Amino acid sequence: MRVALTASAMMNTGAAILFTFPDSLGQFAGLPTPVPRIYSILLAVFVMLFGIAYAWLARQAVINRPLVAFSALGKASVFTVIFVFWILGDLQVRSAVAASGDLIFAAIFGWWLARGRDRPKGR
Residue 70 region, left (φ>0) first, then alpha (ψ -120 to 50), else beta? alpha
Report if residue 120 sits inside a domain: no
Domain span including residue 21? 2-115
Report if residue 46 sits inside a domain: yes
**Rounded CA separation 32/92 (Å):** 8
Cα-based torsion angle of the residue sequence 14, 16, 21, 24 in order, rounded to the nearest 10 degrees? 30
Burial classification of residue 70, based on how many CB atoms lie within 10 Å of its CB (0-12 exposed, 13-18 middle, 19 or more buried): middle
At 86-98, the pLDDT tens digits run 999 999 999 999 9
Query: pTM for the whole thing?
Result: 0.89
At 36-94, the pLDDT tens digits run 999 999 999 999 999 999 999 999 999 999 999 999 999 999 999 999 999 999 999 99
Report if residue 121 sits inside a domain: no
Report if residue 84 sits inside a domain: yes
Report if residue 71 sits inside a domain: yes
Sign of the dihedral defined by the CA atoms of residues 113, 101, 78, 46, in that order:
positive
Number of domains in the chain: 1
